[in-house]
Amino acid sequence: MSSPIHRNCAGIARRDFLQLGLGATFGLGFTDILRLRAQAAAARGKVSPDDVRVIMIWLDGGPTHYETFDPKPEAPSDIRGEFKSIPTKVPGTHFCETVPRLAAAADKFTVVRSICHNDPNHGGGNHYMMTGAPTPVPVGCGAFVTFHPSFGSVVSHARGVRNGVPAYVTTPSESRSSGPNFLGAQHAPFLITGNPSQPNFKVRDVVLPGDVSEGRAAKREQLRQSLDKLKRTSDKAAEDPVLGFDGFYRQGVDLVTSREAQAAFDVSREPEKTRELYGMTDFGQRLLLARRLVEVGVSWVTCYSGGWDHHEGIFKTLKESAMPKLDQGLAGLITDLDQRGLLDSTLVLMLGEFGRTPKVNERGGRDHWPHAMSIFMAGAGCPRGAVLGATDWKGAYANESVHSPEDFACTLYTKLGIDPHQVLHTNTGRPVALVNGGEPIKELFA
């Protein structure tokens, strides 16, 4: 059964935004997993930025920092909320009691408590934290507006397909700012829907239908090649949407005819003990799937988790459903990556568009608050057992080692070997700075 559609307070469903519908023309391949594992182990402690892969967990709606990594136990009850703080494995560091497994694994990751911005809207905050650029606002009639590509799309643009494996995957849904914008459809994410915790889970368009033999598929490919010889009507390939389609079609043909590709998404092949480490939930098994994808060469995987816009009933919702799944799944992922020698070559991120208000409202919830948020970072040279920055005694404002989304973007791109200050060009030739300002956060480079 697919996950339910979550709506934020603006009444916007996660799939109501522009969808490129590329799943039917795109599949994922499976490279030599043993070779990649050996390379990752050999590179432990010294990984080329070009080999770093990313798993980004996106908590759509704006996760609370109070009830996760930045509790305020000394604040009044209408600020601190209903939960207690607990000690972590790192002396002197406390998290909220909702994340006991992560507290026990706190020596493996960094929490950044001081990245903030000024946009309290879902759309604006989403764009800012997924691209490193504020949402452009028309300043007058006829103003030209350019939306930035998502981090995953930029990585796809920089690295491209390697050994038949696409650079950018997202599951189970796309966020509103997860697309490529002016970079073109070929850098949109491959979308994996469905619930991998279910026994009948399959990735659509990766496995050939039962009634289509390899011979029939080959004939269809020959026909397609003949059709491809026809003259294109557009003079510029970048402006021809059919050429973008063909790029996905080409990958799809290469990948769905591969037996290895069909095995890549089969999480049921994992040992039961490993699956239980992540938790037999939709969220936990998607993180397990993400680990399998970066392990075989996918550069960027986004795991989307909706329903974090807690304007009411925040404590009940977090305690009964949201936090147990998140705590077990993320702790399992970090533990598994570390045991496999993959944490040094994998950057794990967890964030949303903003934090939540200091004061609990009359409905028992917290509202939008971009002035303070906590971001989880692990691997790829991030310090282990660190807390970077701080908020004031109420958790209202970042007040120590304060950084912008631009700094976060520069940090991320630098870890991936991508120049954050390069200039890209739209399909009309307009220059666009990848990140306008900002500097890498030096404390995040161990």
Which domains can be identified in the chain, with CATH numbers? Answer: 34-54+61-140+154-162+273-419+433-444 (3.40.720)
Mean pLDDT for the stretch of residues 415-424: 97
pLDDT at 229: 42
pLDDT for 162 equals 74
Mean pLDDT of 289-300: 92
pLDDT of residue 19: 32
* Residue 279 vs residue 243, higher pLDDT: 279
**Mean pLDDT over all residues of the chain?**
83
Neighbour count for residue 77 (Cβ, 10 Å): 8
**Residue 221 pLDDT greater than 70, yes or no:** no
pLDDT, residue 171, reads: 95
Residue 248 in this model has a pLDDT that exceeds 80: no
Residue-level pLDDT at 40 = 39
At 334-367, the pLDDT tens digits run 999 999 999 999 999 999 999 999 999 999 999 9
The reported pLDDT for the residue numbered 44 is: 42
Q: Is the pLDDT reported for residue 434 higher than 50?
A: yes
pLDDT at 123: 94
Question: Which residues partner with 170 through β-bridges?
Answer: 191, 302
The answer for 235, left when phi > 0, alpha when psi is -120 to 50, beta otherwise, is alpha
Predicted pLDDT at 444: 97
If one compares 13 and 99, the residue with the highest pLDDT of the two is 99
Strands 168-171 and 300-305: parallel
β-pair partners for 300: 54, 168
Prediction pTM value? 0.83
Q: When comparing pLDDT for 1 and 383, which is higher?
A: 383
Q: Give the type of residue at 366.
A: R
Q: Tell me the pLDDT band of 161, cut-offs 50, 70 and 90.
A: confident
- Are 58 and 354 a contacting pair, CB within 8 Å? no
d(CA 330, CA 441): 23
pLDDT score of 254 = 53
Residue written as token pair 């954050």? 420
| pLDDT top residue among 109 and 30 | 109
pLDDT above 80: residue 58: yes
At 9 the pLDDT is: 77
Per-residue model confidence as pLDDT tens digits over 9-40 = 765 544 333 332 233 223 333 333 334 334 43
Contact assessment for residue 96 and residue 69, using Cβ atoms and an 8 Å cutoff: yes
Structure confidence at residue 166 (pLDDT): 80
Per-residue pLDDT, averaged over 219-232, amounts to 46
Strands 85-87 and 53-59: unpaired
CA dist., res. 307 & res. 9, Å (int): 10
